[in-house]
């Protein structure tokens, strides 16, 4: 039966219309690869520009700022980039615990977390957990647009490896902590500290740092202002590993 099936498949692939379709399919795939490589060459960053100096606004921040101008009911943009020297160690520690516990060990992708997330999501038959590292999230914030381009994950992966090779872990964290969203229109840890507690980030307590870290997965819904049950559960989990 198996040999008969294989013969039938062979006959199908020898049909002129199938051969013609396959030939053009490969050419189309090759063309798309060439176009994508060209696109990557165009967008590939000059890493020296990102290695030091002030953190620049992300596409998400610029997009929010543009949209807010046309929607009077949207909260004003709050974004005050600061040097990582002014960010307490407790804030850095809380974010690493919450978002990427192996941040200092991996080179951009946490394969252990990726495997665990895939197994759990398959067992639940739905997407419950992701496995994006701080590096991947930083790439998304710094270099990619808010659009859902099908190739975005592929570009994110390549840019993540590039960033890890050219920027220090400390600098990656500086970008991340200044660009992450902490509420509607609230970007960066200093803006978050001023909005929720009326203090600069340098004066945050460990408890407040943990609460900001707990905000990151769903900042509009779960934050120190809403104090939802899921937010409080996340605070407790971070505190246990802090």
CATH number of the domain encompassing residue 188: 1.10.3810.10
Model confidence pTM above 0.85: no
Residue whose C-alpha is closest to residue 175's, from 90, 98, 238, 81: 81
Read off the pLDDT of each residue in 49-55 and give the average, rounded to a whole number. 91
Residues 38 and 71 in one domain: no
Residues 122 and 5 in one domain: no
Residues 143 and 58 in one domain: yes
Residue in the block written with tokens 């060990």:
105
Read off the pLDDT of each residue in 37-41 and give the average, rounded to a whole number. 57
Read off the pLDDT of each residue in 60-76 and give the average, rounded to a whole number. 92
Residues 36 and 63 in one domain: no
Read off the pLDDT of each residue in 99-111 and give the average, rounded to a whole number. 93
Read off the pLDDT of each residue in 69-81 and give the average, rounded to a whole number. 93
How far is Cα 152 from Cα 82, in angstroms, rounded to an integer?
29
4-18, 92-106, 220-234: segment of lowest average pLDDT: 4-18
221 vs 48, 125, 193, 225, CA distance in Å? Answer: 36, 24, 17, 9
4-13, 73-82, 208-217: segment of lowest average pLDDT: 4-13
How far is Cα 35 from Cα 151, in angstroms, rounded to an integer?
12
Residue whose C-alpha is closest to residue 173's, from 117, 47, 59, 89: 89
Residues 27 and 54 in one domain: no
Residues 53 and 19 in one domain: no
Residues 18 and 108 in one domain: no
Residues 110 and 28 in one domain: no
Alpha carbon distance, N-terminus to C-terminus of the chain: 61
Read off the pLDDT of each residue in 76-89 and give the average, rounded to a whole number. 97
200 vs 91, 105, 196, 203, 239, CA distance in Å? Answer: 12, 30, 10, 6, 22
Residue 21 has pLDDT above 70, yes or no: no
Residue 39 has pLDDT above 70, yes or no: no
Domain count, the chain: 2
Read off the pLDDT of each residue in 99-128 and give the average, rounded to a whole number. 77
| pLDDT for residue 112 | 85
| pLDDT for residue 156 | 87
In this structure, the strands spanning 181-183 and 186-187 are antiparallel
Residues 89 and 146 in one domain: yes
CB within 8 A of 162, min separation 6: which ones?
44, 45, 47
Residues 121 and 155 in one domain: yes
Residue 50: give the domain boundaries: 44-241
- Average pLDDT taken over every residue of the chain: 84
12 vs 7, 9, 26, CA distance in Å? Answer: 9, 5, 18
User: Is residue 216 a contact partner of residue 223, using CB atoms and an 8 Å limit?
Assistant: no
Q: Residue 186's beta-bridge partner residues?
A: 78, 183
Residues 1 and 87 in one domain: no
Residues 15 and 70 in one domain: no
pLDDT of 201-224, one tens digit each? 999 999 999 999 999 989 999 999
| Torsion angles phi and psi, residue 181, rounded to 5 | -90, 135
CB within 8 A of 208, min separation 6: which ones?
193, 196, 197, 224
């Amino acid at each position: 039966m198996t040999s008969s099936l294989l013969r039938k498949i062979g006959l199908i692939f020898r049909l002129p219309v199938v051969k013609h379709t396959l030939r053009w399919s490969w050419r189309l795939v090759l063309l798309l690869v060439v176009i994508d490589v060209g696109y990557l060459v165009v967008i590939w960053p000059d890493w020296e520009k990102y290695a030091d100096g002030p953190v620049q606004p992300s596409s998400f921040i610029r997009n929010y700022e543009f949209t807010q101008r046309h929607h009077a009911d949207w909260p004003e943009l709050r974004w005050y980039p600061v040097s990582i020297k002014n960010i307490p160690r407790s804030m850095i520690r809380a974010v690493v615990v919450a978002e990427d516990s192996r941040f200092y060990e991996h080179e951009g992708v946490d394969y252990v977390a990726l495997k665990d997330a895939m197994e759990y999501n398959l067992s639940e038959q739905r997407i419950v957990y992701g496995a994006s590292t701080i590096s991947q999230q930083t790439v998304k914030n710094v270099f990619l647009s808010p659009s859902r381009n099908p190739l975005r994950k592929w570009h994110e992966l390549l840019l993540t490896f590039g960033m890890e090779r050219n920027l220090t872990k400390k600098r990656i964290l500086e970008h991340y902590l200044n660009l992450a969203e902490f509420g509607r229109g609230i970007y960066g840890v200093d803006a978050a500290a001023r909005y929720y507690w009326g203090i600069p980030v340098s004066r945050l307590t460990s408890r407040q740092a943990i609460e900001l870290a707990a905000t990151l997965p769903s900042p509009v819904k779960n934050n120190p202002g809403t104090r939802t049950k899921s937010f409080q559960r996340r605070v407790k989990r971070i505190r246990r590993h802090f």
